[in-house]
Chains A and B, each alone.
Chain A
Amino acid sequence: MSMLSLIVFLPLVAAAVMVAVPSIGSAAARWAWVAVSAVELVLVGVLWAGYEDPGPNELAFEEQVPWIPGVNSSYHVGVDGLSLPLLAMTAFVFLACAIYALGDSERPRAQTALFLFLQGVSLGVFVAADLILFFVFFDLSIVGMYFVIAGWGHGNAAGSALKFFLYTFLGSLALLLGFIGLYVFSDPHTFDIPELVAATPLQDSPLTGGLVLAAILVGLAVKTPTVPFHTWLPPAHTDAPATGSAVLAGVLLKMGTYGFVRIAIPILPEAWRGWAWVIVVIGIVSVLYGALVALAQTNLKRMIAYTSVNHMGYIILALGAVGLAVDDSAQARSVAITGAVVQMVSHGLITAALFLLAGVMHARSGTYEMGSYGGLAAPAPRYAALFAVAAFASLGLPGLSGFIAEFQIFAGSIAVAPVTAIALLGILITAALFLRALQQVFTGHTQGQSTGFADLRGRELWSVGPLLSLSLLIGVLPQVLLVVIEPASASVVDLIGR
């Protein structure tokens, strides 16, 4: 068994054990989750240490086993500079959630099993090199998250979970339709991603290519989500448990954006170029609309949820822009793609931290309404400090990872399509909304729910702190991440130019 299979199946097996052995106690289940997640992180670290760029349209740590030979679908996994960073981010976010959940008391064995299952399938999405395999993991993640929200959520959890499930599941059906389209129109028929990339099916049939891309776009846009397919996100986050929100925003949303760079762009470059303007517009609208709607929110979790729409918008914007012009701007387009991938990692870390911190708020006083707090920095200075760092990271302050992402996205996109500079207003509005939130919740005289608010405890500190530390590391020494991503971005630029 290869390294990647070990990474994917270890949490799945551990989850099965959790389910199968009812005698596992609460504490054992909690610590088992931490232990497995820690081992996962170490394994990904080993992978990272041994990683060398495999070259264009090649995968490192590849493994291929026949699975459904009748349709040329195989268990094919591998990593490159696009997926390895997401793999590492996923492992990091899940470990943070495991540590955070050490203090939860609700059905620990089932929760551990469910999250380990989610971790396995999430990692599976990012290593899959076969469309069917990708789809299976993609859909299983939706099922897992449904049970997390429905089973451990609060408020109108059942309704929000169902809305999440139906909406993203229907989106995945559109995605499946697109995948089948790729299979049908490829010659020889295959679901293998590298083979499809090499073959570029539908290269000379713009109409069919456009339709297949449209199906894939809708499927991924729901998951990402972009405007107007985003309305499942705020209720899902508001009613999800803290760890569920962290995984949903940190990891699951990335499956959508990852699908663009892994599948849509390399396999359908011509159609992508044809649709590039539409994609850029969707990106700009998502950036501005997400930021403005977030600015008007009074509920902290809804606000963070809408900033995710804004942040994912930057990625869509950059990926659209790279399809706009295929000329001598290769460097600028490569910079934009690198920025988009960094944004996936950065948003995963920062938003997971923000949602875990929001969870602390709910655990202490049961409400996310910012108006019911005030002067919280007095009783909870550590909480205030960490929240401020997370907020500044999210608004793209230099020195933290968000800046590395957004600077490259904007530099690259503006160089290719100057009109994308409109979206710069997004980083301004985001700054305003986070500073307003900080002011309302943490400053002024201590009042309302802030009175008697207990400061961060050990497990909360040790789950959020490392996420933000990693964001700081990327912000100051971005090359640790960029050396992996940049060659892959250059490959994508080559692929889109075909």
Chain B
Amino acid sequence: MTVGQAALLVMIVLPAAVGAVLALTRADRVAAPIALVTAGLAAALACITALTRPAVSYPFVAGSDFALEVDALAALTMPMVAAVTFLVLVFAAGNIGQSQARFHGLMLIFSAAALVTVTAASLPGLLLAWELMGAISYALIGFWWRDSDRVSAGLTAFITTRTADLGLYVAAGAALAGGAGMALAELSAAADPWRHVAAAGILVAALGKAAQLPFSFWLSGAMKGPSPVSALLHSAAMVAMGGYLLLRVEPLLASTGWAGPVTAWAGVLTAVLMGVVALGQRELKQLLAASTIAQLGFVVLAAGVGAVSGGASHLVAHASVKALLFLAAGAWLSALGTEKIADLRGVARRWPVVGVTAAVAALALAGFAPLSLWATKDAVLAAALESSPWLYAAGLVAAAMSAAYSGKILWAMWRRGAGEKGRAEGAGRVSALEQVPLVVLGGGAAVLGVLALPPLSPVLADALGGHGEVSIAELAVSAGIAAAVLLLMLRFRSPEPEWALRWLGLEAIAQAVVVRPSLALARALARFDDHVVDRAVTTLAARVSVLARALARLDDHVVDRAVTTLAARVPVLARAAARADEDGVDRGVVAIASQVRRLGQMARAPQTGAIHQYFLQTVAFLAAGAVIWSVYAMMG
């Protein structure tokens, strides 16, 4: 085993093991330091493995390996996941005040699962990490389990994403049937029609995890979890992994002919519609959640049009931007006890470090030049234009929406208002531990756009696939739109239509179309089981006892009486027998003797097969025993 391989294994096993121990113990006092050291080590190891690019595998299930491989895409994404994990845990050390062991333990296990997802090279390993992320996200969204609504939100998140995950199970079946094996890189070589089935299954699973339409609603509920959870799971890791998976299987999508366009349109439509939803939100975390989905829409679009390097750059830069904004929202929520955007007016002035970094992130989110998302988003849009002008146009609308909702929060937090004053509900302070990670993430939010600009962009495009060249005109158009919309938002109030506030009514639809009918069906079947299936058996058993009673009567009145009658006839018979003895027996004996000899020869024949009759008798005997038992039971 090489150093790189060892580093890769330790990077995954260490947080998983430490996390499991922390989650099961109650070492609250030491949990944060232990978790920070672990996450810090994992982040360092992630950098080492990103440079050494190791691969490890061991035999797993279904003839397939549990394969981990650090290719160029993983090398770009892995350090981001590990670094955001570390920074979020630093923040959490100053923000999460209770059950710290459970919190940090779950976060570490989650980060291990996310790192496996990033490096997974085969379907079983991917699915393992993929669903584990979902389960841990359930536990983290419902972290404050005394509040039933938070646990419900975790349940919704897990069930919704698992619905989509079923696509991966189908894809595994297709991979097995297609004969190309379960390695992700080999799927595009699977035989038709299995290749298409695999592509469809993976697409559904990825759209679910990335909360793309129509699965988006689960992320709204997921905001009931602690803010650091949102910062890691709902910006940098789990939701982002949906987009990441599509980037990873881009060759498979492209090979089918249909999956690329479907993916692109799913992404861009989500980006537009969830942009509108984000603009309509009144709570900061809800706005950020909808915006995450919309931004992931650009990554999905990238996968659909083959712009892997652009999509990956957008993914990484967005992680920095959105983790920062979620952490800022968390800091304000703890300090002021509110996340209503109206109540947060002026909050940036009260805590300037938080305010300035959040402003940088919001500007980046808007696509304001020269900050990060301006360049990365444009790399995706440029590729979309090559594919279809309509896609490009829709993408520009989505970009305008990004600027609009970013403007909404940007101006709210800097305008003078209620947020400048303390509130009774909050702690009234933001600790240093909460501020430091924001500065680091702010740096990322500002400069990570270099990934999508020369001289780095051609290098990345070479390594990942995609387009390295940049069009100055398109960059200028994007920057112009962002700046114009930001200015408009300064002037006008944003529209907040009811349907946008309610996330397009998606959850209500899911409840009405899927959840309630399923529960009703379940209750109906349970009644059917008790009143029809079980009663049929019981009735049958009762009939047996009725039959037995009838047979008993038959026994008394018919069989017994026949015997008695017969007995009365015996003397008559005896006299007849005496006569027969005298007349015929002697002659008969001779005749019978010869017949017996013949029968004796015949009797040899069935010797080999006659035993089964014995067993049939056994059956009859046992069945009679069962009947008698049931009669006994019914009467007793």
Chain A positions near chain B (C-beta within 8 angstroms): 70-71, 162, 166-167, 169-170, 173, 176-177, 180, 183-184, 189, 227-228, 231-232, 289, 292-293, 295-297, 329, 331-332, 335, 338-339, 375, 377-378, 381, 385, 392, 397-399, 403-404, 407-408, 410-416, 418, 421, 424-425, 427-429, 431-432, 435-436, 439, 442-445, 478-479, 482
Contact B633 A162 (CB under 8 A): yes
Instruction: Give the CA-CA distance A403 to B522 in the complex, in Å.
Output: 24
A444–B61 CB distance below 8 A: no
Say whether A415 contacts B173, CB under 8 Å: yes
> Which B residues between 79 and 106 are near A, CB-CB below 8 angstroms?
none
Q: Smallest CB–CB gap between B533 and chain A, Å?
A: 5
Q: Which residues of A contact B131 (CB under 8 A)?
A: 397-398, 403
Distance between Cα atoms of A122 and B611 in the complex (Å): 28
Give the chain B neighbours of A431 by CB distance below 8 A: 158-159, 162
Note all chain B residues with C-beta closer than 8 A to A335: 61-63, 176
Which chain B residues numbered 57 to 76 have a C-beta less than 8 Å away from chain A?
Answer: 58-63
Residue of chain B at shortest CB distance from A406: B169
Q: Which residue, A418, A439, A443, has most C-beta atoms of chain B within 10 A?
A: A443
Which of B145, B611, B633 makes the CB contact (< 8 A) with A443? B145
User: When the two chains form the complex, which single residue of A70, A162, A183, A414 contacts B173, counting CB atoms closer than 8 Å?
Assistant: A414
Q: Whose C-beta in chain A lies nearest to the C-beta of B629?
A: A166
Chain B residues with CB under 8 Å of A169's CB are 622, 626
Check if A439 sits within 8 Å of B62, measured CB to CB.
no
Q: State how many residues of chain B have any CB contact under 8 Å with chain A.
A: 65
For the complex formed, measure the closest distance between the CB of A212 and the CB atoms of chain B, giving whole angstroms. 13
| Docked pose: A371 CA to B170 CA in angstroms | 36
Beyond A408-B62, A411-B173, A418-B173, whether A176 also contacts B626 by CB under 8 A is: no
Residues of chain B within 8 A (CB-CB) of A403 are 128, 131
- Verify if B51 is at the interface (C-beta below 8 Å from A): no
A411 with B172: in contact, given A295-B522, A397-B135, A428-B162 (CB under 8 Å)?
A: yes
Q: Is the CB of B159 within 8 A of A167?
A: no
Minimum CB–CB distance for A395 against chain B, Å: 9
Known: A166-B541, A421-B170, A435-B138. A180 touches B616 (CB 8 A): yes
Closest to A158 in B: B633
B residues whose Cβ falls under 8 Å from a Cβ of A: 24, 26, 58-63, 124, 127-132, 135, 138, 142, 145-148, 151-152, 155, 158-159, 162-163, 166, 169-170, 172-177, 197, 518-519, 521-523, 525-526, 529, 533-534, 537, 541, 608-609, 611-612, 615-616, 618-619, 622-623, 626, 629-630, 633
Contacts of A413 in B (CB 8 A): 173
Query: Shortest Cβ distance from B57 into chain A, in angstroms?
Result: 12
CA gap between A428 and B63 in the complex, in Å: 25
For the A-B complex with A377-B145, A407-B62 known, give 20 more contacts whose Cβ atoms are closer than 8 Å.
Answer: A169-B622, A184-B609, A184-B612, A231-B529, A231-B533, A332-B173, A381-B26, A392-B135, A397-B131, A398-B130, A403-B131, A412-B62, A414-B176, A421-B170, A421-B173, A424-B170, A435-B138, A444-B145, A478-B61, A479-B60
Q: A71-B611, A412-B62 are in contact. Are A397 and B176 (CB under 8 A)?
A: no
Complex-state Cα separation, A442 to B155, whole angstroms? 14
18 contacts between A and B (CB under 8 A): A166-B541, A166-B626, A176-B618, A183-B615, A292-B522, A293-B529, A332-B176, A397-B132, A398-B127, A411-B176, A414-B169, A421-B170, A424-B166, A427-B166, A428-B159, A431-B159, A432-B518, A482-B59
Q: Cβ of B62 and Cβ of A292 under 8 Å apart?
A: no
Minimum C-beta distance from B19 to chain A (A): 12
Residues of the B chain whose Cβ atoms lie less than 8 Å from the Cβ of A416: 177
Q: Is the CB of A331 within 8 A of B24?
A: no
Knowing A331-B63, A398-B127, say if A293 contacts B525 (CB, 8 Å).
yes
A contact face: mostly helix, strand, loop, or mixed:
helix
Let me know if B609 and A189 touch, CB within 8 A: yes
- In the complex, are the beta carbons of A407 and B124 less than 8 A apart? yes
State A293–B519 Cα separation when bound (angstroms): 10
In the bound assembly, the distance between CA atoms of A332 and B158 in angstroms comes to: 29
Chain A nearest CB from B82 CB (Å) reads 20
Bound CA–CA A293/B522 (angstroms) = 5
B170 to A407, Cβ gap below 8 A? no
Say how far A132's CB is from chain B's closest CB, in angstroms: 9
The smallest beta-carbon distance between A474 and chain B, in angstroms, is 10
Contact A415–B176 (Cβ < 8 Å): yes
Contacting residues, chain B, for A184 (C-beta < 8 A): 609, 612
Asked if A398 contacts B132 (CB within 8 A), the reply is yes
Cα A397 to Cα B177 in complex, Å, equals: 24
- Known A167-B537, A431-B158; contact A295-B519, beta-carbon cutoff 8 A: yes
Q: Are A428 and B522 touching (Cβ within 8 A)? A: no
Nearest Cβ in chain A — how far from B129, in angstroms?
8
Question: Shortest 5 CB-CB distances between A and B: which pairs?
Answer: A414-B173, A415-B177, A296-B526, A398-B128, A231-B534
**How far apart sit A22 and B523, CA to CA, in the bound complex (Å)?**
50
Residue of B nearest to A334 (CB): B63
Nearest chain B CB to A432's CB is how many angstroms away?
5
